């Protein structure tokens, strides 16, 4: 979470929505962001920057006594799932994961057996945080949205990987059907991303 006292706004950053980049890029004197840590919505024993509770005292210095206005960063769920897999691989390569070394398909089908960090959608995150009244910042339009909201030009550090080529990851119709049903559906509906439909001539290496 990043709090901007001068703007009286809060930016909430669910896992894998460029949260690290935003905290490093916005919590500097130029932008006036305050890096906020707190209990994770899914694990109160874990304290991190995905904190999403709004203290009632925030906004008390506002002339009208209004509470801080929350923004939530949303991201295309198909792209975010790949990003989470790449994060999983990064952790495994450094010996800080579960040492199962899953491939992409194993990760997708077995995601609910992994640490909650990997299998919670943004919809899950917001529900666990009890957050209902907010505006969205679009990950795919991140710097432009931040510049508009903060009223100043924002340039963030480079992200960790380039945008995905959809067909290179969602090449199997059964895998795509599974992702649509168990991962993408709620976030697509909540944030107006299109559900990726299975084309009639979709080929699959695992099915006939």
3-state secondary structure of 159: coil
Q: Which residues of 1-29 are buried (b: 16+ CB within 10 A; e: fewer)?
A: bbbbeebbbbbbbbbbbbbebbbebbbee
pLDDT at 182: 93
pLDDT at 130: 84
pLDDT at 201: 53
pLDDT at 57: 56
Q: Which residues of 74-103 are buried (b: 16+ CB within 10 A; e: fewer)?
A: bbbbbbbbbbbbebbbebeeeeebeeeebe
Instruction: Give the side-chain half-sphere CA count within 13 A for 147.
Output: 8
- H helices then E strands: how many in the chain? 9, 7
Q: What letter would DSSP give residue 110?
A: T
Which residue's structure tokens are 């939530």? 72
Rounded Cα distance, 128 and 131, in Å:
8
pLDDT (tens place) for every residue of the chain, 208 residues total: 899 988 889 999 998 898 889 999 999 999 999 988 777 766 767 777 777 776 655 554 444 457 788 999 999 999 999 999 998 888 888 777 667 789 999 999 999 888 888 888 999 988 888 888 899 999 999 999 999 999 999 998 887 667 788 989 999 999 999 999 999 999 999 999 999 987 655 555 544 3
**Two tokens at 198?**
């299975």
Instruction: Give the side-chain half-sphere CA count within 13 A for 122.
Output: 31
CB under 8 A, 24+ apart: contacts of 101-109: 104/169, 105/172, 105/175, 108/81, 108/175, 108/178, 108/179, 108/183, 109/175, 109/178
Q: What letter would DSSP give residue 184?
A: I
């Amino acid at each position: 979470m990043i709090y901007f006292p001068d703007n009286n706004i809060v930016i909430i950053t669910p896992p894998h929505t460029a949260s690290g980049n935003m905290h490093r890029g916005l919590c500097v004197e130029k932008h006036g962001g305050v890096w906020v840590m707190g209990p994770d919505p899914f694990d109160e024993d874990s304290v991190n920057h995905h904190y999403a509770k709004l203290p009632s005292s925030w906004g008390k210095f506002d002339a009208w006594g209004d509470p801080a206005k929350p923004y939530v960063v949303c991201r295309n769920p198909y792209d975010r799932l790949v990003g989470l897999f790449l994060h999983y691989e990064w952790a495994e390569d450094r010996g800080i994961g579960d040492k199962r070394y899953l491939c992409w398909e194993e990760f997708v089908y077995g995601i609910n057996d992994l640490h909650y960090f990997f299998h919670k959608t943004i919809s899950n995150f917001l529900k666990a945080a009890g957050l209902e009244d907010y505006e969205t910042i679009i990950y795919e339009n991140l710097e432009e949205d931040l510049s508009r909201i903060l009223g100043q030009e924002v340039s963030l550090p480079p992200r960790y990987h380039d945008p995905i080529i959809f067909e290179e990851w969602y090449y199997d119709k059964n895998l795509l059907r599974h992702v649509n049903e168990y991962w993408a559906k709620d976030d697509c509906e909540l944030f107006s991303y299109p559900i990726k439909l299975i084309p009639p001539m979709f080929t699959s290496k695992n099915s006939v």
